[in-house]
Amino acid sequence: MALRLLVVEDDDHIRTALRWGLEDEGYDVAEAADGEDACRQVAAAAPDLMLVDLMLGAVDGFEVIRTVRRTHDLPIIVVSARSDTHDIVAALEAGADDYVTKPYQVKEITARLRALRRRAGAAAETPAASRAAEDDRMVLDAASAEPLVLHASAGTVHRGERELHLTVTELRLLCELAGTPGRVRSRPDLLQQVWDHGFFGDERLVDVHIRRLRTKIELDPADPQVVVTVRGLGYRLDRR
């Protein structure tokens, strides 16, 4: 069964070109020309993946992403002409998994989508995830009243009795770090392992997703105890 992909783009020509190219790749493509319609479609029947432009009018791409993220963990790629660092980081912090700046080739979009699909399918099957799940669970923080527990093969994370809803990328990032506890992982290393071998993004993706991950798993994201920064080197997961 073909994966359903929602393209949110206000330019008719770009939207049509994307639909044709993505349908050639086997996707079932739905379209939304504005943010309001995109949110309505997701509420009615969530797609498997989304491509979202940022400049959409009254309800812009940032708000679309934030709205979707309140209830869904589906992969989201931003496709926008806005290439300023502030805009890119803001889109990632809103909940996007990746971004592509215009102009682009459709084959670049499909490559990013394939990478996201591989990560979704392999989040619990990577060597790091397997190491993190020797008995199907890993207690990352036992020092608090609500222990933080990763079930890598099941793709779940709990803080006490609460299940934490991580995106595919956040879960893969946590599994990768949990697979090598106490070891510093550089940004280029995490970018390659989590975002896919040969990925051609930049290191801002790592920093923003670490911040997002911390807001979900840390008791105090401003003073992280599980995923810590090693200045000038990268990040390390400390089991407590």
Which three-class secondary structure string do you get for the chain? CCCEEEEECCCHHHHHHHHHHHHHCCCEEEEECCHHHHHHHHHHCCCCEEEECCCCCCCCHHHHHHHHHCCCCCCEEEEECCCCHHHHHHHHHHCCCEEEECCCCHHHHHHHHHHHHHHHHHCCCCHHHHHCCCCCCEEEECCCCCCEEEECCCCEEEECCEEECCCHHHHHHHHHHHCCCCCCECHHHHHHHHHCCCCCCCCHHHHHHHHHHHHHHCCCCCCCCCEEEECCCEEEECCC
CATH 3.40.50.2300 domain position(s) in the chain = 4-121
pLDDT at 116: 78
Q: What's the pLDDT score for residue 201?
A: 58
Q: Would you write out the chain's pLDDT as a tens digit for each of its 240 residues?
A: 788 999 999 999 999 999 999 999 899 999 999 999 999 999 999 999 999 999 988 899 999 999 999 888 888 999 988 878 788 888 888 989 888 888 888 888 888 888 777 766 655 454 444 444 445 689 999 988 899 999 988 888 999 999 998 888 899 899 999 999 999 999 999 988 887 644 455 678 889 899 999 999 999 999 999 999 999 999 999 998
Residues of the chain with CATH 1.10.10.10: 127-237
Return the pLDDT at 120: 63
| pLDDT reported for residue 132 | 45
Domain 127-237 falls under CATH 1.10.10.10: yes
How confident is the model at residue 134, as a pLDDT?
47
State residue 107's pLDDT score: 85
CATH topology of domain 4-121: Rossmann fold (3.40.50)
